[in-house]
Structure 1
Amino acid sequence: MLRIIASTLGLLCLVQAQVAPQTIRLESRVAPRGTSLKRRALNPVTVPLADFFLGTDLQWFGNMTVGTPPQTIPVVFDTGSDTLEFASTLCPECVNQVQFDPTKSSTFQDGGTTSTITFATGGGVDPVVGDNYQLTLRSAIDTVSVGGLTAPGVSLFLVTNQTSPFDIDPYSGIQGLSPSGISARAQGFFASLVNQGLPSLFSMYITPKAVGNAELTIGGIDTTKFTGTPIFASILPTSQLNTAWQLKSPALSVNGKTNSILTRSRSIIFDSGTSNVLFSTDTTEAIYALISPDIKPNPNEPGTYGIACDRISSLPAVIGISFTSQHGTPFNLTIPSSELSVGPFANDPSTCQTLINAFDGLELVGGSLLKHWFSIWDVEGQRMGFAPARL
């Protein structure tokens, strides 16, 4: 999920730390090629992830604990955001989520400031319109644990109000895993673990529901979950206004074909908290034109497109996204034809929504790509790695 944070103290801009490369040792894992081995204070842990389904693969989430004694809180591990926020007993609208009770934690400290987050993308496939995905927050500090790794004094936010699109979520909040949120200068959970000696990387195996066994490995790489050797590409430099996992792409293709719009260079964000794909309107329509002229905009949900559901299975729709490795060689990440449909429209069940939403000014891929690739997110190396997921 991508968000804009507005605070009573003004805009909260998170500055990306410049992290010098360090040698790492991954216990029972494989260190990225080219790194030497050195024992660290903390070993990697693996966190099981559940799939929020609703007829299609929407979102993956897992448990963390907060407070003393610990209270279990299910959260989305979101590479498109920076901070940790979750439902609390201060939120009367959060009745469908597990709510953290700050009065029951002896280590809880109220931060005293309030803020709002307005999301640019959501956890479902419906488009975000205006401020319909918005959280009201109160700052705080408490102890946080994931997979047996514990971080005291973590900066976090309690949700005190949420808009209605969040009501169906089975998870309580979001743990941001953007590069700036993990950097050693940040005050978050992952940054605290890095300061304790955990390697500053994580890997994701987020699978279709039919496959299951999705997981997040914090501080390491699970070599049993992919085939071949991971290919790494350098992420784009970050700044105060750009803290995303972002790679430069020279071209897109559909079923091996391309055109002048799709061969335009672009920067693509990888967001584990967003379900489908967002491209500019001209790119979206250029892709759909190569799949079928019958894929049309849905005026009832601006930014979405669809086609008759009974035609979906007959349409070849392999979307290829080209990148360049750290060694200068090109490679493709593909989204298979099986991802073309994200389910029927509520207002017209005979028409199925297609996976790309038009969003001018944003180029982003989410779960529809990531669930077919094992992904490695390396802050120390300022790079991302991919290998075919073992499904």
Structure 2
Amino acid sequence: MFSFSWFLLVASLYTSITSACPEPQKITLQSRVAPHGQANSLKRRQISPTNVPLADFFKGTDLQWFGNISVGTPPQEISVVFDTGSSSLEFASTLCNSCTNPVPKFDSSKSSTFVDGGRTSSISFATGVGVDPVINNDYVLRLRSGTDTVTVGGLTSRNVALNLITDQTPAFNIDPFSGIQGMGARAQGFFASLINQGLPALFGMFLTPNSIGNAELTIGGIDESKFDGDLVFAPQAGTGATWELRSPGISVNGRTTSLLNTRRTIIFDSGTSNVLFSTDTAEAIYALISPDIKPNSAEPGTYGIACSRIPSLPAKIDIAFTDVNGRAFNLTIPSSELSVGPFANNPSLCQTLINAFDGLELVGGSLLKHYYSVWDVGNQRMGFAPI
């Protein structure tokens, strides 16, 4: 998901990938021998990476990937989306009467290590759980602050800042998970604590389609068994908490336009299922796929075409980037991602993957599930390898 609080930093709008990828590049890692006496200290400090299995919320298309963490003493298991589009931890609590989705809710009164922070707040999201646009600010959480022990993949952090959901808007009630764990480009919460304990400052995501399964988050490392070839790394575009890369252009089915062949900064959000571009960019892309893809006024920001047309439409979208060595490479969204399913108001009309959102350029699961992705906080870069 992409929170409006982050959107303020990116776009100041809220107030409170037909060229093939170049030849594989081998990433060479060099080690330095620690001085005698320091080696044992470094060894004591090292924490090994850990893997967290992820489930895929599938509703005709892949929507969100989520996994289990535990909070409190004794630990209470809850499920969260590991979301690179936000930065904090919030989850359903027994204080929330409007949290009607059948998911575990945290009971702070049963945790001996919970400390109530006493601060209430709210958070609004620019992208929600599914593929439909946010309309009338319909993804809002009301929160109460606190701290507690958090364990992820067997690694424990103490006194982690968190938020208990005390109220949520109805749009969240389809969620099969309890909350959201932000995994932004600036380590915070449990991840920052683990880094301070000696865990390498990166994580890998294997966000597979529902048909493949075995999705996984690797915290503090890279699972090389999940991809072939070498990772290609690109530098972070900004200095904030948003994961974003600079792109020199976009092509569709091997063609581009002056508008698409323009430099832009694109956000990578594991908590968003499809793609958001400004209206002119979305329509320029659709024009190169089919002139029959039109806005659907019933759901502002969405576009669609007759479902019967989808199988015959090539819709390969290549987004260009530049790696850390100055070499060009593409990340590709294949034609298979064009449709995200029929509209509720017209089942013969299928929604297409790009939503219009002026001022925001963002890619989510429709791209990420075709790559193993590395989110390197320590070196402020992102890595990709096809899967």
Per the TM superposition, whether the score is higher than 0.5 is yes
Deviation at 1:179, TM superposition (A): 1.2
Task: Confirm whether residue 237 of structure 1 aligns to residue 243 of structure 2.
Answer: no
Name the Cα RMSD after superposition: 1.7
Inter-partner Cα distance in structure 1 for 2:231 and 2:371: 10
Deviation at 1:370, TM superposition (A): 0.2
Deviation at 1:36, TM superposition (A): 2.5
Deviation at 1:34, TM superposition (A): 3.7
Contact 1:5 1:115 in 2 (8 A): no
Contact 2:119 2:144 in 1 (8 A): yes
* Distance verdict in 2 for CA 1:35–1:100, change over 3 Å: farther
Pick from 260, 274, 286 the counterpart of residue 258 of structure 2: 260
Inter-partner Cα distance in structure 2 for 1:133 and 1:95: 15
Task: Confirm whether residue 72 of structure 1 aligns to residue 70 of structure 2.
Answer: no
What residue number does 2:159 align with? Answer: 153
Inter-partner Cα distance in structure 2 for 1:221 and 1:36: 17
Inter-partner Cα distance in structure 1 for 2:28 and 2:334: 28
TM-score by length of 1: 0.90
Segment drifting more, 124-133 vs 74-83: 124-133
Task: Confirm whether residue 36 of structure 1 aligns to residue 31 of structure 2.
Answer: yes
SS at match of 1:47: strand
Map residues 1-391 of structure 1 onto 2, 5 A cutoff. Answer: 1-5=1-5, 33-36=28-31, 39=43, 40-96=45-101, 97-180=103-186, 182=187, 186=188, 188-239=189-240, 243-389=241-387
SS at match of 1:100: coil
Which residue identity does 1:376 align to in structure 2?
V
* Distance verdict in 2 for CA 1:244–1:5, change over 3 Å: closer
Contact 1:5 1:116 in 2 (8 A): no
Which residue identity does 2:278 align to in structure 1?
S
Inter-partner Cα distance in structure 2 for 1:321 and 1:4: 25
Inter-partner Cα distance in structure 2 for 1:236 and 1:34: 23
Inter-partner Cα distance in structure 2 for 1:262 and 1:161: 41
Q: Would you say how many aligned residue pairs link Structure 1 and Structure 2?
A: 360
Deviation at 1:92, TM superposition (A): 0.3
TM-score by length of 2: 0.91
Deviation at 1:265, TM superposition (A): 0.4
Which residue identity does 1:3 align to in structure 2?
S
SS at match of 2:47: coil
* Distance verdict in 2 for CA 1:205–1:154, change over 3 Å: same
Which residue identity does 1:287 align to in structure 2?
I
After superposition, give the CA deviation of every residue in 1:169-199 in whole Å (9 maximum; x if it has no partner).
000100000012x1xxx4x010000000000
Identity %: 67
SS at match of 1:282: helix
* Distance verdict in 2 for CA 1:293–1:165, change over 3 Å: same
SS at match of 1:191: helix
Which residue identity does 2:4 align to in structure 1?
I
Deviation at 1:257, TM superposition (A): 0.6
Where does the alignment leave 5 or more consecutive residues of structure 2 unmatched?
Answer: 10-25, 33-41
Contact 2:66 2:177 in 1 (8 A): yes
Inter-partner Cα distance in structure 2 for 1:95 and 1:121: 21
Inter-partner Cα distance in structure 2 for 1:164 and 1:206: 27
Which residue identity does 1:329 align to in structure 2?
R
SS at match of 1:291: coil
Inter-partner Cα distance in structure 2 for 1:214 and 1:290: 33
Inter-partner Cα distance in structure 1 for 2:72 and 2:268: 31
Deviation at 1:227, TM superposition (A): 1.1
Contact 2:27 2:230 in 1 (8 A): no
